[in-house]
Every structure is written in structure tokens, then in C-alpha cells.
Amino acid sequence: DVVMTQTPPSLSVAIGQSVSISCKSSQSLVYSDGKTYLHWLLQSPGRSPKRLIYQVSNLGSGVPDRFSGTGSQKDFTLKISRVEAEDLGVYYCAQTTHFPYTFGAGTKLELK
Amino acid sequence: EVQLVESGGGLVQPGRSLKLSCLASGFTFSNYGMNWIRQAPGKGLEWVASISSSSSYIYYADTVKGRFTISRDNAKNTLYLQMTSLRSEDTALYYCARGGHWGQGVMVTVSS
């Protein structure tokens, strides 16, 4: 199984600050079609997960461009520029390149 | 608007069975693969099972293989998860998901 190692486990930030979350996979996430199926999700308190970014760097529908994703192969990063209150919650990376699909353990973003 | 509405959860004794449903709307259901993902209380996300658009391809997590069955009825726009031999560790919020779209989840509690 592909192990997704997400760091840090938690972040305490001030509104307006920028933060980055790392996600490393135990094997390459490049699929046979050449695409990389690495995604970022946000689960706000009491809510279902919402996909922020798909295939490394593509913004989901309605997702503000304060969010950006970069990376390749086994090393990926989510950056949030100018954190807003609505950004608080748990962020997960997820891979759907290989079965079983796997998720990172999550990064909890809290207000300082 | 894509909507995924899960139902069928509840409290069940260990060893018993339960069948979850996910009614889809707002898109051509028969064109998309679908997934079940669960989240134990206070824990992260765990992929459970996936099914292709025509049911030709089905995959399960090792933790549920042999006990859970994913299926779909494209005429009814509905995804199912038949769960048998339930264990306490199956207690979780079960989400139906398609790409970036997630349902609200349905709670399954396995307890005597």
C-alpha cells in the first residue's frame, strides 16, 4: 500500500499568515496515463471533506486562488497564502493512483 | 448541482449486517466510478471500496474484503454498500464520494 506521510500534524497560524503542508508518498504517484492523482482535501469542523486541489495543482470548483499545490512523483506541497478564518480545519492529502487509495493522517490548522 | 445523499446507517450488533445506500443526482450517474470512504470517530479518512461506472471493476480495502460488497443500480442512480459480519472497528461515518463531491455521510455504530 502507498503510505502518505503528511507534515506537520498541526499548525497554529494567525489570520493573514501563509503556511505550507507537506505530503510525501512511499512510491511514485504517476499513473500509466502520465497523470499524477494526488489531491488535497479540507474538512472543516463538523463538515464533509471538500476537495481543494486535484491532480497536484488544479484548483477545485469555487476554491480561492489563495490555495496552491505543487510537487511531483513522491513529494507534494499545499500552500495557503493569507490564511482566513474559513480555512481552519483538517487538511488531508489523498492518492488515487494506486489501489488501495490512501490518505495522509491530516494536518490540523488552528488559529493562533 | 451534484448531490450525494447517504442513508441506511444506524446501531447494529456485532456480527450483524447493514446496507447503505447513496442516491446521486445532478450528474449522469452511469458515467462515473463511485467510492465509499469512512471516518471513525475522531480519526482520519479510510477508503473502503470503489466501483467503476458499469460495475466491471470493483476494489476493496483489505479491512473489509470478504465482508462488504459494493454495488450500484444505474437505473436508480444509487450506490450501495452491503456490510456483513460487522465489527466494532467498522463504527464510522460512511461517505459516498465521486471525484471532488462527497455526501454528508451516514453513521454506522457497531455495538452490543
- Parallel, antiparallel, or unpaired for β B10-12 and B106-110? parallel
pLDDT of residue A74: 98
Question: How many whole angstroms separate alpha carbon A11 and alpha carbon A74?
Answer: 22
| B3 at A interface, C-beta within 8 A | no
Q: Where are the beta strands (DSSP E) in chain A?
A: 4-7, 10-13, 19-25, 38-43, 50-54, 58-59, 67-72, 75-80, 89-95, 102-103, 107-111
For residue A100, whether the previous peptide bond is cis, meaning omega lies within 30 degrees of 0, is: yes
Report pLDDT digits (tens) over B57-94: 999 999 999 999 999 999 999 999 999 999 999 999 99
Tell whether the model's pLDDT for residue B101 goes beyond 90. yes
pLDDT of residue A78: 98
Give Cβ neighbours of residue A89 (< 8 Å, ≥ 6 apart): A42, A43, A44, A45, A47, A108, A109
pLDDT band at A112 (very low <50, low <70, confident <90, very high): confident
Using a CB-CB distance cutoff of 8 angstroms, which residues of chain A are in contact with residue B100? Answer: 50-51, 54, 60-61
As a whole number, the mean pLDDT across chain B is: 98
Identity of the residue in A54, A92, A100 whose CB atom sits nearest the CB atom of B44: A92
- B contact test, residue of A51, A59, A67, A101 with most B CBs within 10 A: A101
Joined grid coordinates for residue B39: 471516518
Helix segments in B10-67, DSSP class H: none
Tell whether the model's pLDDT for residue B104 goes beyond 90. yes
Task: With H, G, I as helix, E, B as strand and everything else as coil, classify residue A51.
Answer: strand
| Closest-CA residue to B8 (of B93, B97, B98) | B93
pLDDT of residue B24: 98
Residue B18 near residue B7, CB atoms below 8 Å: no
Mean pLDDT, range A21-45, rounded to an integer: 98
Residue in chain B nearest A37 by alpha carbon: B99
Question: How many whole angstroms separate alpha carbon A69 and alpha carbon A53?
Answer: 7
Tell whether the model's pLDDT for residue B31 goes beyond 90. yes
**What is the percentage of chain B residues whose pLDDT exceeds 90?**
99
| B44 at A interface, C-beta within 8 A | yes
Report pLDDT digits (tens) over A53-109: 999 999 999 999 999 999 999 999 999 999 999 999 999 999 999 999 999 999 999
Tell whether the model's pLDDT for residue A45 goes beyond 90. yes
